[in-house]
Structure 1
Amino acid sequence: MTKVTLKVEGMSCGHCVNAVETAVKQAGAVGTVDLASGTVTIEYDENAVTLEQLKQAIEDQGYDVV
């Protein structure tokens, strides 16, 4: 398993947390959002999903991965 923390802009509430965590889960990984720091920590299997796919899943929800 690979673990990475990404900075995500545009999150401001519980709905945002749920949207990002659900997008990451649907992409095949486990994500935990820290709303205070504006980050999501993701654990994923590099053989199942790429980091780019995870970033795209988050961006598809309307947030910016920086």
Structure 2
Amino acid sequence: YKGIQIPTWESRLIDLTLAGQSKAYCDELQGKIRSYGLEITELSTHLQGQLVAVHPAYDLMFDNFA
């Protein structure tokens, strides 16, 4: 493997709020990944992207994505 995709919905892997506020946090995360000989290839937003619009009939079912 040359790189990894980080799922952004998983807060145990990346704190998006902190990443948006702290370059040091991002540099530390990138350094940790590089120590394994890998690069971050992308930040995955698959789950967030699924909830673009939801019909009111399905609102309760999709609450976990919101």
Taking structure 2 as the reference length, what is the TM-score of the superposition?
0.38
- Please identify which structure carries the higher helix content: 2
- Between structures 1 and 2, the one with greater strand share: 1
